[in-house]
Chains A and B, each alone.
Chain A
Amino acid sequence: MSYLEYQVKSVPTGFRKILYANWALVALLTAVASIGFLMLYSVAGGTLSRWAEPQMIRFGMGLTAMFIVAMVPIWFWRNVSGLAYAASLVLLVFVEFFGVTGMGAQRWIDLGFMRLQPSEVMKITLVMFLAAYYDWLDIKKVSHPFWVAIPLVLILIPTALVLNQPDLGTAILLVAGGGIVMFLAGVSWWYFGAVIAGGVGLVTAVFTSRGQPWQLLKDYQYRRIDTFLDPASDPLGAGYHITQSKIALGSGGFSGRGFMQGTQSRLNFLPEKHTDFIFTTLAEEFGFIGGFSLLVLYALIILFCIMSAIQNSDRFASLMTLGIAATFFLFFAVNMSMVMGLAPVVGVPLPLVSYGGSAMLVLMAAFGLVQSAHIHRPRAK
């Protein structure tokens, strides 16, 4: 079913739309963001103005943006998704030349009231555009090599650009997010199997070649991989962050040390305590209960998105909703794995909790899209 066949009458109109929004999702997002405020207040040593207050303002702006996006019919967003993708790409190229680098490696453009990171925007517009692509594409051609190559190119161009920044975290999110949309659209399992097999083969080859005459990488590159994979081998350098992060997390225990009582963050043992490593402070101060609660909230957000997507018989809406949910999942999964020492350190923030403007606004806007899809879903006559 396509939008053209909508019984427009069955779709809510005007401000009544707001009643049809997915309010549970709004509540969940607010709850997660509130945990963020609390933690930002705590890591700032009990002051609002440093991080918590700006974060609240941004969340307010994000909520507003979400509702504005939600009010606009989903078919409008489908129609402009190509444009949005193209615009993000232009911005990415633009920051290559004119952007400012700071705090890690992400490049941003100063908009005056906030710093916009095009790579953040790209995470969403890529998903949108791929969903639109598969909405347009004949379902029988989905696994055709040519029609598989096109989305691959669409994914790899922005990936190459962010890798060049270099922002490994965003690159991983782009590839994984795009790949998930392709998977959902029904691209044959064989492609994924082949990519995974190829990847495994390549990694094996690289590692087995070490010390062999046909060694594929230089020695220093191997050493870099070593510390990347096992930071503990360099406890005062690359491993310092992860060691301290694990100490903070583990020492929280079951019920935590209590609000504002975390010693690791308070005494600056934790790096990036208000951004990428904010989860450790939560886990230190509220323990397993706090950390697990946040995980449950995230899980509920994902679940609501999946349910909304499955109920929705519109192909673009479903794919986009699932894609956004998957991107959201990738954010916190990568971040949490990192702080728990399950994955190497890559710069990915904890969504809606870490301090940061672009990510917050872009994610809220993305949930606006999810809401729009939810509100404007085709309804039975």
Chain B
Amino acid sequence: MKYTQKDIEKSNRIITRRGIVLGGAMMGFMGILGLRMRQMQVEEAEDYRLLAEENRINMRLLPPARGVIFDRNGIPVADNSQNYRIIIVKEDAGDVDDVVARLKSLIPLDEDDLERAMREINRRSPFVPVTLADRLTWDEFSTVAVNAPALPGITPDVGLSRHYPMLEDFAHVIGYVGPVSDYDLSKIADPDPLLQIPRFQIGKVGVETKLEEDLRGKAGTRRIEVNAAGRVMRELGRIEGTPGTDIQLTIDAALQNFAQVRMADESAAAVVMDVHNGDLIAMGSAPAFDPNMFVRGISGPDYRKLTENEYRPLANKTVQGTYPPGSTFKMITALAALEAGVIGPDDTVYCPGHTTLGGRRFHCWKRGGHGYVDLDKSLVQSCDVYYYDIAARCGIDKIAEVAKRFGLGTRHDIPMSAVAEGLIPSTQWKQVVRGEVWRPGDTLNASIGQGYVLASPLQLAVMTARIASGKAVSPRLVKSVSGTADPVPTMAELGTNENHLRWIRRAMFRVSNSERGTARRSRIVTEGMEIAGKTGTSQVRNITAEERARGVTRNADLPWNRRDHALFVAFAPFDKPKYAISVVVEHGGGGSAAAAPVARDIMLQALYGGLPPLEAYPAGQREAIGELHDTWPLRDMPKPGPARSRA
């Protein structure tokens, strides 16, 4: 086909024209692309730069080492131990099952842990490290480390975990840590980001939780670059955290250990306190438990064993337990009466074995009565009628006032969980709380530490310390924080007549040392170390008139939880008081038989700073005690030292 010249020109014209239109359109569109590029890369560049940083940079928290808790001599009682773990990275392992099987042939693996780990491995990205086993022994750990070449993807790793080297000795004082729970988080308004770390440990009970803020420390951070899949590519920077503050307690680990061992078979509590500065030297609560179980995560059966035990091992009886103080309260009643001026030290009361008030009989523990009783005799023989008489004369409100001055019915500020306030009744209290009028009979019951009166072993120790020192000593559990000693406050005067206190101390001395004293068996014979105490036996049941008529059932014939509580408070040495002690043996029977020997033994231990020579005991008991000394499974104490934990 042949085109005419006209056709050709027309065709060329069209192509040229349309080619230019097309070219213009294309250039125009490229202009738009260029402008868009400019908009994104010049005008909005900063925004995108920020987004890119957010994309790639991740902050990871570095958990700080928790502060170490030392006893008063620098022996660590809560530290951080190396937790040897085995970590697996799936993509390095290749055949996970094969590697795990090989690992199993080397060290024992817990089936449950393994199953959990396997589930996690399958759920997470293949490059995420998963813990296969932890808390390995050094031997297991080194076995794995040596065989690492045969175990692709397996890394032996070391982390820190809380460890309580004194096992159950400090279970109640220090408490324990555990992984943060949702419940814990719900209680905190503005949680530290550290708490979001899976399995991060925080204090749950005791000093661990009360001083959590100090002990926790500050998190460090690690800036890491991650790729789109979250894999860590490299570390960009690291700010080390601040380890938690070390805390030194006033407790003496050796004495604490002795107290726990001494009370091992009882449901009991003992508090030893320095009468001058209020340092709590020992706070034993038996039975106890191994707090390490809780750090690891306690198993259901183990936990049930603790909760179902009628001796209540989980309760910290030194501060949580409140008991009718029984006759140990008589010092307070006597001091109130002396202060009220209703009796003098030599005034006597006749005790026929009971007294009658408003048609009701109030019995003395001694059926036949004590005859004429003065202040000294009333404490030494613990006559009840004497106290009914003087209490009725001075009134409950005076007694309550004195009791509070001596530290009863007050919550003492020490960093422990559930510190009880106890109860010192007064007419106003009964009116407000019970909505009833105070009856004279209530005063009689209160005068011998029964009825409404409740006190914790800690409060009884404080009371005794105040009687011994005449100062308003307050209990103290923390000796120093981070190496700086917590200042001991100057103890205020009690404002009680020193003569009155001297008479009371003298009578307490005779309780322990005189021929007729109720605690004579538990005396200390070493010169200059004599103990002065007061026994107490508090009823937990009512004795009916009918029972009284046919003879009160002996404790040994009652079921355990119906028996009387045995109490004993004391200070020593008598002429130069150093320590005060209170011991409560739940349902232990009589104070002189069950509580006083425990208190004496602990006191001797405190005075001698270790097992005392047998000469300190009354001659007749030495042989038996000597045998006991050998059977007490006391813990070997490590060398004290300011050594920081291996963080």
Contact = CB atoms under 8 A, between A and B. Distances in A.
Interface of A: 1-2, 136, 138-140, 180, 183-186, 244, 246-254, 263-264, 266-270, 283, 287-288, 291-292, 295, 298-299, 302-303, 306, 309-310, 313, 315, 318-319, 322, 325-326, 329, 333, 336-337, 340, 342
Contact of B51 (A139, A247, A303, A329): A247
Contact of B55 (A136, A264, A295): A264
B41 A310 contact: no
Interface of A, secondary structure class, is: helix
Contacts of B23: 302-303, 306
A247 B18 CA distance: 38
B200 interface: no
A248 B33 CA distance: 16
Contacts of A299: 27, 30
A251 B15 contact: no
Contacts of A322: 15, 19, 22
A247 B52 contact: yes
A313 B40 contact: no
Size class of the B contact interface (CB-based, 8 Å) = 35 or more
Given A251-B48, A263-B52, A326-B22, A139 B30 contact: no
A1 B33 contact: no
A143 to B, nearest CB: 11
Contacts of A251: 45, 48-49, 51-52
B29 A333 contact: yes
Contacts of B49: 250-251, 253
Contact of A302 (B26, B32, B37, B42): B26
Given A136-B1, A139-B7, A267 B228 contact: yes
Given A252-B45, A267-B227, A269-B56, A291 B19 contact: no
Interface string B224-256: 011111000100000000000000000000000
Interface in B1-55: 1-3, 7-8, 10-12, 14-16, 18-20, 22-23, 26-27, 29-30, 32-34, 36-38, 40-42, 44-45, 47-49, 51-52, 55
A30 B226 CA distance: 36
Contacts of A139: 3, 7, 10-11, 14
A315 B14 CA distance: 10
A263 B33 CA distance: 24
B48 A287 contact: no
Given A247-B48, A250-B44, A269-B228, 10 more contacts: A184-B22, A186-B14, A267-B225, A270-B228, A288-B38, A288-B42, A295-B33, A302-B27, A310-B19, A329-B26
A28 B297 CA distance: 70
Nearest to B12: A313
18 contacts: A1-B3, A139-B7, A184-B19, A186-B11, A247-B48, A251-B49, A253-B42, A253-B45, A266-B227, A267-B56, A295-B34, A303-B23, A306-B23, A310-B15, A333-B33, A336-B33, A340-B36, A340-B37
Interface of B: 1-3, 7-8, 10-12, 14-16, 18-20, 22-23, 26-27, 29-30, 32-34, 36-38, 40-42, 44-45, 47-49, 51-52, 55-56, 225-229, 233
Contacts of B30: 295, 298-299, 302, 333
B22 A249 contact: no
A340 B228 contact: no
A298 B227 CA distance: 33
Nearest to A186: B14
A7 to B, nearest CB: 15
A250 B15 contact: no
Given A136-B1, A250-B41, A306 B19 contact: yes
Contact of A180 (B2, B8, B14, B22): B22
A326 B49 CA distance: 35
Contacts of A325: 26
Contacts of A248: 52
Contacts of B41: 249-250, 252-254, 283, 287-288, 291
Contacts of A295: 30, 33-34, 37
B585 to A, nearest CB: 66
A186 B2 contact: no
Contacts of B225: 263, 267
Interface centre among B8, B33, B44, B233 (most CB of A within 10 A): B33
Contacts of A336: 33
A263 B56 contact: yes
B3 A250 contact: no
B22 A183 contact: yes
Given A333-B30, A340-B33, A318 B48 contact: no
A74 to B, nearest CB: 15
Nearest to B33: A336
Contacts of B8: 1, 313, 315
B47 A250 contact: yes
Contacts of A315: 8, 11-12, 15
Contacts of A287: 41
A291 B34 CA distance: 8
Contacts of A337: 33
A309 B15 CA distance: 9
Contacts of A140: 7
Given A251-B51, A288-B41, A340-B33, A138 B56 contact: no
A269 B227 contact: yes
A268 B11 contact: no
B620 to A, nearest CB: 84
Contact of A318 (B19, B26, B36): B19
A186 B15 CA distance: 7
Contacts of B44: 250
Nearest to B45: A253
A185 B26 CA distance: 17
Contacts of B27: 299, 302
B228 A246 contact: no
A250 B48 contact: yes
B632 to A, nearest CB: 64
B38 A183 contact: no
A271 to B, nearest CB: 9
A268 B229 contact: yes
A250 B34 contact: no
A232 to B, nearest CB: 13
Contacts of B48: 246-247, 249-251
A269 B55 contact: yes
A268 B55 contact: no
A166 B188 CA distance: 56
A186 B228 contact: no
Contacts of B16: 310
Given A248-B52, A309-B15, A288 B233 contact: no
Nearest to A253: B45
B29 to A, nearest CB: 6
A225 to B, nearest CB: 23
A195 B56 CA distance: 47
A268 B7 contact: no
